[in-house]
Chains A and B, each alone.
Chain A
Amino acid sequence: MAEAKRIERPLSPFMIGQYYRPQLTSMSSILTRITGNALMVATLLIVWWLLALAAGPEAFETAEWWITSWVGNLVMFVSLWGLCYHYLAGLRHLIWDAGKGLDLETAEKLGWVCIYGSGVLTVLAVIIIWL
């Protein structure tokens, strides 16, 4: 029997741009992946904060100084938005997994819900935390 021919298969994401026009549905999907994976930075900072809190006042001062510095605040704020976005996009996946909202019009609408909704949720969370 002849050897099966080895085919060089392209690796994702080769489609976007070259063969596939960027659309709201695909872009909002990729953003889900980016936000989900980027949350590892915030996780690292939060676990550092917890360890420092357990270690004592001195270690805590250092950790909190960094995490609430302007760079730290920026990272935490962007992470909060990332979490809100990932949260809404996750709910969107649950709706799709239930077999609902798969038509193009609803799918696009849900994409806008993720984008605007994540902004609203972020502002809402900041207000609740600050008050």
Chain B
Amino acid sequence: MRYITDRQRAVGKGSAHHGAEHHWFMIVSSVALAFMLPTWVIIFGKALGSGYDAALETMARPFPAILTALVLVVGMIHFHKGARTMLEDYTQGTTRKLLIMAFVGFSYVMIACGLFALVKIAL
């Protein structure tokens, strides 16, 4: 019989084993996204389907470009961390590790491609 509290006995026994830092990041990034997304959805929605010249004109301006970059970076990190919670619930062992790597990889590829495109459009 070890004299520890119920809370201490429970720490690390969840499917993710730990996660306060992760949870806090999701809160911070979700608040950031909550402020950015309404404006971004309208800007992107209006640019989509407006033709090459109009789309280029919009995305070359500082505000749409910077906002799109922020939404992409914060959104994709929020995405792979959120997906990680799902993977920790439904998968185990090596499968879990490989899938987490795949989701993180996908997110960073999206960030790199999107930022490259935004820089090329702006310059």
Q: Which residues of A contact B (CB under 8 A)?
A: 11-13, 33, 36-37, 39-40, 43-44, 46-47, 49-51, 53-54, 57, 60-61, 64, 67-68, 76, 80, 83, 87, 90-91, 93-94, 97, 125, 128-129
Q: Summarize A's interface: helix, strand, loop or mixed.
A: helix
Q: Cβ of A37 and Cβ of B82 under 8 Å apart? A: yes
Within the assembled complex, what's the spacing in Å between the Cα atoms of A11 and B33? 31
Q: Which residues on A sit within 8 Å (CB–CB) of B41?
A: 80, 83, 125, 129
Residues 27-48 of chain B: 1 if any A CB is under 8 Å from the residue's CB, otherwise 0? 1001101100100011011101
Q: Majority SS of interface residues in chain B?
A: helix
Q: Apart from A53-B56, A76-B48, A83-B41, what 11 extra A-B contacts exist at CB < 8 Å?
A: A12-B89, A33-B86, A43-B75, A50-B113, A50-B118, A51-B116, A51-B117, A57-B52, A64-B48, A64-B49, A125-B41
Chain B: minimal CB distance from A15 (Å) = 11
List residues of B whose CB falls within 8 A of some A CB.
15, 27, 30-31, 33-34, 37, 41-42, 44-46, 48-49, 52, 55-56, 59, 68, 72, 75-76, 79, 82-83, 85-86, 89-92, 106, 110, 113-114, 116-118, 120-121
State A13–B41 Cα separation when bound (angstroms): 33
Chain B contacts of A50 at CB under 8 A?
59, 68, 113-114, 117-118, 121
